[in-house]
Amino acid sequence: MAQHINTKCVQAGYQPKNGEPRVPPIVQSTTYKYDSSAEMGKLFNLEATGYFYTRLQNPTNDYVAAKIAELEGGVGAMLTSSGQAASFYSIFNIAAAGDHIVSSAAIYGGTFNLFNVTMKKLGIDFTFINPDSSEEEIQAAIRPNTKAVFGETLSNPSLQVLDIERFAGVAHKNGIPLIVDNTFPTPVNLRPFEYGADIVIHSTTKYMDGHATSVGGAIVDGGSFDWAQNDKFPGLTTPDDSYHGLTYTESFGKAAYITKAVTQLMRDLGSIPSPHNAFLLNIGLETLFLRVERHCQNALAVAQYLEKHDKIAWVNYPALPGGKYYGLAQKYMPNGTSGVVCFGVKGGRDAAVQFMDSLRLAAVVTHVADSRTCVLHPASTTHRQLTDEQLAAGGIGVDLVRLSVGIEYVGDIIADIEQALGQV
């Protein structure tokens, strides 16, 4: 029987056998012992599955990756040591120097820098388009050497909702996959594979961990994209000399993409999480459903409060009726969007800073999406490298305040906002 996502949050990924630990154990070991060189050799040839070195695979990490794959409805997942590593690998797994990627401009500032500065230095070119682009506009950005389309399902911090079906449709017409960052909605609120996305990535640092203890990321393979339909993905469809001429699509079928990410990119680049961090992530995941539900209830109440306040210039919360993304939010995230609410305080940048510095319960931190309410002014912190034009393209006004509503008692959160607005 198909289980509800709440049950999967608690139990998926690890089923102990008779007498084994009830809780996924922390296998804090870099290496694994074998009885003969021949047996270990098979592992190195990818002819047998098994653990040999934690840079490639570790049981604790794999339990947690399997849970995230089940939550998203994918065929496999890989944990990374950060969301940044997940973003990088998700593209580098199928693109090389001379290739091109079309990305939504409404993406996390760190992802934008990774794409626009660091990956460009590797020879991979990016075109950034408005997430509201029509099919024709998306198509116009695609070139013969374009290898993927990328976007955030609910953008950080601008809270723009990606029309996944539209982006997936255009990508597929061109024989390329849609990769989405689903960090903000989490699979509790949105499972992008159900709408045509092919690869899903996460910064697990946010709601999945949920307690601000561990930086981490994940890549999930939906298993549905046909990499062999054209010759755009030679890394997956032609022999890999580093594994004696093995071809990923032939040897691993639906799991070709994620297997290559583990056996090639993780082997060579090595951004693995520590098993201890994976253990903490799993504890976070166990309560993901409960927390996300409460984050969304609290955030909606806060958004409704702010909307009526005369010192507030505007509120963006996609679950709030009347907003630009309300329709798309209802379609893709009918149970809630996230705990993040963006708004402008009347008086612009100075008023925003005065408001934030007056908060007592909500802390000013460079973080988002954990259990404690926190607040940030992107234009002067996370996104300060961006020009005003780049900020505008990313949907971020200079007056934008990003409030990450926690799971405290909502009356206390609103009382804190009320007293801080009183100081403005």
Ligand X SMILES: *Cc1c(COP(=O)(O)O)cnc(C)c1O
Toward ligand X, which CB reaches closer, 84 or 146?
84
Q: At its nearest, how many Å lie between ligand X and the CB of residue 189?
A: 14
Nearer to ligand X, 228 or 269 (CB): 269
Helix (H) or strand (E) holding 128: strand 125-129
Q: Cβ atoms within 10 A of the Cβ of 22, count?
A: 7
Is 81 within 8 Å of 216 (Cβ atoms)? yes
Task: Decide whether 235 or 394 has the Cβ nearer to ligand X.
Answer: 394
Neighbours of 27 (CB within 10 A): 17
Q: DSSP letter at 356?
A: H
Locate 280 and state its tokens.
């903490």
Q: Do the beta carbons of residue 423 and residue 354 sit within 8 Å?
A: yes
Q: Rounded CA gap, 170 and 168, in Å?
A: 6
C-beta of 406: minimal distance to ligand X in Å? 16
Q: How near is the Cβ of 184 to ligand X at its closest, in Å?
A: 6
Question: Between 142 and 261, whose beta carbon lies closer to ligand X?
Answer: 261
Task: Return d(Cα 155, Cα 328) in angstroms, integer.
Answer: 13
Distance, in Å, from the CA atom of 54 to the CA atom of 31, rounded to the nearest integer, reads: 6
- Our CB check for ligand X shows the closer of 60 and 156 to be 156
Give the nearest distance from C-beta 289 to ligand X in angstroms.
20
Q: In DSSP terms, which residues pair with 341 in a beta bridge? A: 403
Reduced to 3 states, what is the DSSP secondary structure of residue 361?
coil
Residue closest to ligand X, measured at CB:
83
**Rounded distance between C-alpha atoms, residue 57 and residue 272, angstroms:** 9
CB of 182 to ligand X, least distance (A): 8
Cβ at position 114, least distance to ligand X in Å: 9
Smallest distance, ligand X to C-beta of residue 47, A: 34
Binding footprint of ligand X on the chain (CB under 6 A): 82-84, 87, 108, 110-111, 152, 156, 181, 183, 203, 205-206, 215, 217
* Residue 208 burial (CB count, 10 A): 30
Choice between 74 and 394, CB closer to ligand X: 394
Using the minimum distance from each CB to ligand X, give the nearer residue, 215 or 261. 215
Instruction: Count CB atoms within 10 A of the CB of residue 142.
Output: 19
